[in-house]
A and B are shown apart, each in its own frame.
Chain A
Amino acid sequence: MLRMLRKIARTGVVTEAPPDSPGPVLESVGERLCATLVRRFAGCLAIRQVDAGSCNGCELEIQALNNPFYAIERFGVHFVASPRHADLLLVTGPVSRHMEAALRATYEAMPEPRLVIAVGDCGADGGEFGVSYASCGAVANVLPVDGVIRGCPPDPMQLTLGLLEVLRKATRGQA
């Protein structure tokens, strides 16, 4: 136990923007995200993530949003287990035909108003897999999509920025 406490103390808080990262630093993006959430979502955004057929690369980077460097929960963003609790559906693709019905059912289970973001190049346009006997391609071919975060896969910073952008666009004009 002592050893563990010592390790925790020695590690300190790593949650911060990497100082040498190009472009906007995570903290300021996060603060803007947080402000948007406070204004539009009572400070809290619940995300249901669905892998609709991805190679699992996008999942690895979405999981990384919860590691102590990005710690996206501090901005009010939570990943939830049930679509019933979700404001936003984060879908990685391409949408395989075998996942089509499950994806639709997940979307239908969400309360309105609901947002959908397609993640990754495959979610955006089918990517390397396109449309075939097995794949519906882009998420937009199956569900109405409010925004797209491209990348193969997008890294956690791109995901955070993309999320902010979509939320701002989707809620523009609302009080």
Chain B
Amino acid sequence: MSAGAPPGAVPASSDAFAWLADFLDTCRRENLLVEEIAAGGLAPARLVRLDPEDWGAFARVAAGAGLRWCAVWGEHRDARIEISACLEHGGGYLLARTAVLVRTPVLPSHTPHYPAADRPERHLQDLLGVAFSDHPDTRRWVRHQAWSEQEFPLRTDFPLYGHPSDETPPDADYPFLRAHGTGVHEIPVGPVHAGIIEPGHFRFQAVGEAVLNLEERLGYTHKGIEKLAEGRDAQGLARLAARVSGDSTVAHAWAACMAMERAAGCEVPARALAVRAILAERERIANHLGDVGAICNDVGFAFAWYQFSRLRELWQRDNARVFGHRLLRGAVVPGGTAADVCAREAAELARGAVGLGDELDQLVPILEENASLQDRLVGTGVLAAGPAVHLGVLGCVARAGGIDRDVRRDTPYAPYDRLTVRVPVCTEGDVAARVRVRLEEIRVALELQGWLLDALPGGPVCRPWGVAPEGAEGLGIVEGWRGETLAYVRFGARGAVRRYYPRDPSRLNWPALEVLIGGNIVPDFPVCNKSVNGSYSGHDL
């Protein structure tokens, strides 16, 4: 597996912020009060503080300067609610921060300038009671009927148990967009779907079989993860993070641990970082294998489904043998990893990788040459580069539409900072391109696993976890199999977590499904949906 070039030195991302000075100058020319302050544990991200009235104009200038919008979260602190937004450009992450009074929690919206901010801001509105004054859509989002419009679960005076009724009523009166006209009919689907998948509601307006409009209604799996995180110790938060989205247990646990480790100034042993990367690449491979099979199955190509689900099963069995868990849960812990790889296991993993590579050599040409499969995948569910950039789409969905971005390469974190990460990119943006990118990403992940196994550093895989200083905060950003996975952590007294916000890539990818399904036929929805494969749980929190 390690036959390729040895890991080369990637140029340091010292120029990741070359744009920042100019950008801040532009802000000041626009009369915005922007002040850069010490980032502390948020580094390598940089931090600026803003007046709340400048919040919207800041987004306008940032969008004009080509910054990408990543996330927004808030925290109730005494009489104020502090809001942070994360943006990125050229591999450098910039955090913008402001605060509003709990008495008057009104803030200009980022959504007019960044459509990606639409649902995240509504999430904040429902959980913290922040009103975004010029938000184009003031409907509730994550709130259904489990708490009232006047209650805000993430406020400090809201008890974890809340004030639930004996039976939570269904969210029957959500004001969906309506389509009118001769021949337009509406198809409501979910929250309970036909297959073994997560719950969510899709409202189609169709003319004949063609989809005129799709509106998603999510939030069904909201489990109060952000509230549950409050007061946990570091190990408890890692356990929770590992359950934000079951298929991304490594990605979320790594992002959360990275945030905590940066906050606490904990240096993770080199061997642990290598093992984490092996785990992350194995998670990427397992999910891509499963999804490629499922995509083929959704257009009736059972051969590929059986073959790829077989490969996924073999891969998961290796996971169980070496790491003790088929989905690799519990392997990433604060300060390092709970699992190690001995020489015999490393050889076993390398053998498995060779085996998988050989299987793909046989299978991929079969997929590519099968006319009836390609007929269903080529030109289906096209997401053009324009809307993809507009929506801030992430991961393989973005890369299949010409967006050449990968955190492992662009904002490299250890151990990727000493590896060459190839980033496969296609331009077509259809289901076929998403399949191609995923298959190629399996190859890259196998390559990376080979290099990592060949050069495993010695030493321990975990450092004892101390107590993080009160008020310390950190930001963890990793490239999960779905794309950029972000976690923010701030500690309170006695090393207990005060705030945790995980931003799954699905949060930005779900809206893309509404766009790419347009003009396709309703029966192609399953394959379009699977090719994106958003996490409901990771989105709903």
Contact = CB atoms under 8 A, between A and B. Distances in A.
Asked if A pairs with B, the answer is yes
Interface of A: 3-4, 7-8, 10-11, 14, 18, 49-64, 66-69, 79, 81-82, 94, 96-102, 104-106, 127-136, 152-153, 155
Interface in B201-246: 219-225, 227-228, 239-240, 243-246
A98 B227 contact: no
B223 A96 contact: yes
B537 A67 contact: no
Contact of B221 (A54, A58, A82, A130): A54
Interface residues of B, number: 66
Contacts of A7: 303, 307, 362-363, 366
Given A98-B222, A133-B164, A60 B537 contact: no
A56 B535 contact: yes
Contacts of B146: 96-98, 133-134
A34 B130 CA distance: 56
Contacts of B195: 79, 81
Contact of B220 (A53, A58, A66, A104): A53
Contacts of A98: 144-146, 168, 171, 219-222, 540
Interface of B: 144-147, 153, 158-164, 167-171, 191-192, 194-199, 219-225, 227-228, 239-240, 243-247, 249, 290, 303, 306-307, 309-310, 312-313, 316-317, 320, 326-327, 329, 362-363, 365-366, 369-370, 535-537, 540
B226 to A, nearest CB: 10
B239 A128 contact: yes
Contacts of B309: 64, 66-68
Contacts of B249: 57
Contacts of A129: 223-225, 228, 243
B423 to A, nearest CB: 26
Contacts of B312: 64, 67
Nearest to B221: A53
Contacts of B160: 132-133
Contacts of A97: 144-146, 164, 168, 222
Given A57-B247, A97-B168, A99-B199, A133 B327 contact: no
A60 B167 contact: no
Given A53-B220, A56-B536, A132-B162, A3 B246 contact: no
5 contacts: A4-B370, A53-B222, A55-B245, A96-B222, A129-B223
A11 B221 contact: no
B198 A11 contact: no
A4 B240 contact: no
A133 B245 contact: no
Given A128-B239, A131-B161, A152 B153 contact: no
A59 B246 contact: yes
B228 A60 contact: no
Contacts of A55: 243-246, 537
A67 B223 CA distance: 30
B313 A67 contact: yes
Contact of A101 (B167, B243, B317, B370): B167
Contacts of A133: 146-147, 153, 158-164, 224, 227
